[in-house]
Amino acid sequence: MANKLDIINTVEYKIHLKETINVSDSLLTTKEYYQKYPRLIILNIIIILLSSLLGLYLRGVTGIIVGIVIGILSFLYLPSGITKVREIYKH
């Protein structure tokens, strides 16, 4: 029967690691939030509702087309009521 010392083999490795950290990149602070504009939100809702009522008043295919066109144009061209803001600070 062999001794435990005979069975155990030891192997040594020397490993040298070198890592460079750029300090200027690691000192960034990011802040994200949503900025709301309640008056613009209400204005968008009013215009969309009025376009629907105008379409109901005009009746038929013409009313449907006018209501949809005014709703889409107000959605595309009026400023957004909610904006995502990202602020990045460098220390």
User: Does the pTM exceed 0.95?
Assistant: no
- How distant, in Å, are the alpha carbons of 39, 52, 75, 88 from that of 61? 32, 13, 21, 50
Instruction: State residue 72's pLDDT score.
Output: 82
- Would you state the pLDDT for residue 20? 66
| Domain boundary assignment for the chain | 28-90
Pairing assessment for the beta strands 28-36 and 82-90 based on DSSP bridges: antiparallel
Reported in sequence order, the residue ranges of 1-60 that DSSP labels E, i.e. its strands, are 28-36
pLDDT tens track for 27-65: 778 888 888 888 888 888 888 888 878 878 888 788 888
In this prediction, residue 24 carries a pLDDT of 57
Q: What is the pLDDT of residues 3-35, one digit of tens each?
A: 555 555 555 667 666 766 665 556 778 888 888
